[in-house]
Amino acid sequence: MRQSKTTFMSVCSLITIDGTVDGDVVAGPRKSPSTETVKGSLMVGGQPSVLNGEAYSARIAAQVIKLGPKAKLDGDLLAGGQSLECVKESNVGGDVIFGGYQALLAGQIGDEVRGSMANCRLEGSVGGDVHLQVRR
Amino acid sequence: MSTYKFGGDKNAPNMNFGPPPPVAMPSVPGGLTIADSATIEGDFELSREAGGRHRPESHVNGETTFSQEKPAQSTAGRSQASPSVFAKALGRVKHLVCVALVGIAVLCSSALEHRLGRYDSDPPRQSFLAASG
């Protein structure tokens, strides 16, 4: 798919967006979605979810969630899963809210971090407050 | 000496609850760890179970708040715990004091009615029925 100006919904095994989506993307791929630019919200439920593009915000439920080095979210990231990894070059402009087992937050987070997890490592910068529940 | 035999294939592979994730998960140390490179511009609030030891004040520009949660106790352990002798005696004393207070209140009210002359042998319901009938 190269370009779409409406909400894009899909339940498939693999989704690759090599272009720009003006609206939202709601998808449930079995494999990792590959996105270029989503001007709306990205709502994904899949087994692994690796974001390496731009979107306004993202709601992700997946076993492994990873924000790659080119990932850039202007808004919030709401995620639930076993593992969340925000690599060093990733950028989330709003809040990061996560519930799961472990989180590695090495990128830049513009606003607050809220979460409940067993393991958490902070390596990056957080622009707002941090509210964490760490339970083992 | 007894000999037990169990069925099944001992060479069977281990049971997996689903395939391994195709994306490798990072190795995160247990609990909360904060690297030297981390910076937190706002406040830091951590709620954790007893036993945590991390102090992230050096990375936080705002206030730091900790709250420890008590580890959950099993309901069986709580139900089996018997009260102490002092607690039993205190409970009995409380019961006696409450009964005595109720008795004193009843006696005082009846004595007051006698003194004011408002005591009537007829119950109020019978008086009401006689007046209405």
Supply the ipTM of this predicted assembly.
0.80
**A119 neighbors A101 (Cβ within 8 angstroms):** yes
**B50 neighbors B66 (Cβ within 8 angstroms):** no
Task: Write the Ramachandran bin of A31: left for phi over 0, alpha for psi from -120 to 50, otherwise beta.
Answer: beta
Distance CA A105, CA A132 (A): 13
Q: How many angstroms separate the CA of residue B14 from the nearest CA in chain A?
A: 21
The arithmetic mean of pLDDT across residues B78-104, rounded, is 84
pLDDT band, very low/low/confident/very high, at B29 (cuts 50, 70, 90): confident
In three-state secondary structure terms, A57 is: strand
Last-in-domain residue among B47, B71, B95:
B71
Q: Outline where chain B has alpha helix (H).
A: 75-80, 85-116, 124-132
pTM above 0.80, yes or no: no
Q: Is residue B66 part of a domain?
A: yes
Q: How many angstroms separate the CA of residue B31 from the nearest CA in chain A?
A: 4
Q: Is residue B28 part of a domain?
A: no
Last-in-domain residue among B71, B92, B120:
B71
Torsion of CA A27, A32, A34, A38, to 10 degrees: 40
B67 and B87: one domain? Answer: no
Q: From the DSSP assignment, how many helices (H) and strands (E) are in chain A?
A: 0, 15
Q: How many angstroms separate the CA of residue B9 from the nearest CA in chain A?
A: 31
Residue A13 has pLDDT above 80, yes or no: no
The arithmetic mean of pLDDT across residues B5-31, rounded, is 68
Q: Is residue B108 part of a domain?
A: yes
Question: Dihedrals φ, ψ of A16, to 5°?
Answer: -130, 115
The arithmetic mean of pLDDT across residues B23-37, rounded, is 86
pLDDT band, very low/low/confident/very high, at A109 (cuts 50, 70, 90): very high
* Domain around B62: 36-71
**Among chain A residues, CA nearest to B21:** A48
Closest residue to B28, CB basis, from A48, A63, A120: A120
pLDDT band, very low/low/confident/very high, at B11 (cuts 50, 70, 90): low
b or e along A111-133 (b: 16 or more beta carbons within 10 Å of the residue's beta carbon)?
bbbbbbbbbbbbbbbbbbbbbbb
Q: Report pLDDT for B71.
A: 59
B125 and B97: one domain? Answer: yes
Closest residue to A136, CB basis, from B45, B49, B56: B49
pLDDT in tens, B102-132: 999 888 888 888 777 765 555 555 555 555 5
Of the candidates A98, A133, A95, A103, the one whose C-alpha atom is nearest the C-alpha of residue A120 is A103
Q: Is residue B103 part of a domain?
A: yes
Closest residue to B23, CB basis, from A32, A104, A125: A32
B91 and B131: one domain? Answer: yes
Residue B21 has pLDDT above 80, yes or no: no
Q: Report pLDDT for B33.
A: 87
Listed range (A28-32, A52-56, A86-90, A91-95) with the worst mean pLDDT: A28-32
pLDDT band, very low/low/confident/very high, at B14 (cuts 50, 70, 90): low
Q: Is residue B18 part of a domain?
A: no
Question: Is B126 in CB contact (< 8 Å) with chain A?
Answer: no
Q: Is residue B121 part of a domain?
A: yes
pLDDT band, very low/low/confident/very high, at B30 (cuts 50, 70, 90): confident
Listed range (A62-66, B36-40, B67-71) with the worst mean pLDDT: B67-71
For residue B116, list its beta bridge partners. none
Indicate yes or no: CB of A134 within 8 angstroms of CB of B41.
Answer: no
Question: Is B63 in CB contact (< 8 Å) with chain A?
Answer: no
Q: Is residue B59 part of a domain?
A: yes
Q: Is residue B22 part of a domain?
A: no
Q: Report pLDDT for B6.
A: 55
How many structural domains does chain B have?
2
Residue A62 has pLDDT above 70, yes or no: yes
How high is the mean pLDDT of chain B? Answer: 72
Residue B96 has pLDDT above 80, yes or no: yes
Query: In this structure, which amino acid lies at residue B88?
Result: K
